[in-house]
């Protein structure tokens, strides 16, 4: 990635808003503001990629400045975010030493303890029983299973059958 100019950064929140409006117009009920896996907002958040020295770099507050501008408030929950999806990884980098299903569970559990909105845990869950166990242990309110569903479009039916 290259460092964007301040003028380019200033245009980004309105681009997100326009995309959300198109999504609503198309009939969808929700929009996910994705900030993981190397996408633009993740590039701002990641200290591996963000080496800026202006207000969009440095400590975590600078690195989430664009996120807060995209949702137009001082904190995600206060901004009206309805749900948080806890995941991670960038260019093959995951949590070192964590390969278990729900490898971000301790992070989602900690976040769940300080917000009142639902928390989704995404990462490494491949079997319905793994999802049920993480939910029963209070690690999250919902489980994200993107890759498992991509690998098997019948995953949700399997989960329902096993319930």
39 is catalytic: yes
Query: Which has the closest alpha carbon to 87: 42, 149, 23?
Result: 42
How far from the centroid of its chain's Cα atoms is residue 124's Cα?
14
Show which residues are catalytic: 39
């Amino acid at each position: 990635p290259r460092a964007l100019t301040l003028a380019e950064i200033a245009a980004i929140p309105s681009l997100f808003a326009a995309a959300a409006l198109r999504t609503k117009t198309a009939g969808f009920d929700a929009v996910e503001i994705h900030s993981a896996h190397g996408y633009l907002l993740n590039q701002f958040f990641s200290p591996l990629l963000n080496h800026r020295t202006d207000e969009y770099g440095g400590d975590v507050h600078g690195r989430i400045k664009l996120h807060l501008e995209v949702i137009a408030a001082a904190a995600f929950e206060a901004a009206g975010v309805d749900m948080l999806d806890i995941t991670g990884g960038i260019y093959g980098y995951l949590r070192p030493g964590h390969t278990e299903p729900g490898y971000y569970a301790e992070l989602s559990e900690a976040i769940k303890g300080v917000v009142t909105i639902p928390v989704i845990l995404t990462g490494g869950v491949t079997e319905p029983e793994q999802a049920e166990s993480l939910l029963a242990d209070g690690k999250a309110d919902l489980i994200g299973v993107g890759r498992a569903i991509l690998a098997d479009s019948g995953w949700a039916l399997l989960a329902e059958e096993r319930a």
